[in-house]
Structure 1
Amino acid sequence: MKARIKRILKRTPRPLIYILGLVLLVYGLFASVMIFSYNDWGKSGSLGDTFGILNAFFTCIGTAGIIYTLFLQNKTFETSIKPLLEIISKGEEDGYFKLLVKNIGNGTAMNIEILPLKITTADDSPFKFKEINFQQSTNKTLNLQASAEDFVMIGAYDEKNKLLDKIFLSLIDEKVSDFTFEFEVIYIDVSNRGLKQTFKLGLNDGRITMIDY
């Protein structure tokens, strides 16, 4: 029985426990005053009428409980409204890797940024360059409401910050066709919460899949 009561108390929100405890305390004090201070119940009845303030007090507690419930519902609603990005490769255009960024979530994603990806290759690496840097071609601010989409251009640069033409033809041969790379995208929602997603790019088919959120 005690264990069951503990489980119930553990699941009950703390503010609700405090409110119920306060109500029981006030009722207990009031009952104690009425029982131990007055022997004549006719007089105590008239005194009890003066405690109409208790009704107002408990009405305020009830109103506070309703407000708290609405607050919890609002927090739950905010949590359920989250942006979620999907990135689709659209091939190359003018030497840049073209990505379609779609917001498939329920909330607005703001200040979307694809973090730069730096790849350093070993001497025996099948890649033709010692260092490859993938980064957005422009610093434009990207904001997407739910169901909205926009394009982002990613450039591949060598160690001298020179744009590499024909990305896949220049970087990839049969030895690395099954390689994958991971990159991150950061943004904020309407509540200014920082969010991050991790994606994987397959060099064989150019497909981008989300692996962490």
Structure 2
Amino acid sequence: MIDTKRNAWPMTDVARRIARRIARRAHIVFITAHTEYAIDAFKHGALDYLVKPIEHERFADTIARLQERVNSSHPAPNTEQLIEQLAAQLQRPNTNAPLRWIRALVGQALCMIPVDKIDFLRSDEKYTLIAWRDETSKQCEALIRTPLKELIIQLDTTQFAQVHRAVVVNLAAISHVTRAENETAQIALKGRDEILPVSRSYLHLFKQM
């Protein structure tokens, strides 16, 4: 796999260089934050591409495809068909399913946090604090490097709401909202001691107050 963020070449050049240097067939998967070169990369032998931030299920699907390709003695899939599928996908509006899992390092363990178990997310300098409940309803916290602004656009807007420039809350986790000074408010959470701020810009979300 190739992380194009660490390489100054576009996908097309990377695929072409690998194809020239490796006599046997190479199975190339690109990890990228940009898709403008993806179609050309397929023309030069790329098997698949992953767009950052990478979802667990999408990554697992790509690994399965790689294993199938390596273990199979059948000819490679039709490249033109792959190109057509990618072109159609790039032209469609962004209909990606909301984020379902967030990976976080807790101690020495890598945890897969179910998004629907998250109570709130809060920006913490260069990190994002994730506060959630585990399968026993124990309160847990972890810091991840992904900025809050990148996570917000992947969350289900019917479940999560930004209530402050540094805070996103799970609506189902809210116990009650109390009006505060200067057209702001405070959110109390079910079973948690934390009080979350609601800034003036987001007070309209609680019009009934």
TM over 0.5: no
- TM-score normalised by structure 1 residue count: 0.23
- TM-score normalised by structure 2 residue count: 0.23
Instruction: Judging by fraction of residues, say which structure has more helix.
Output: 1
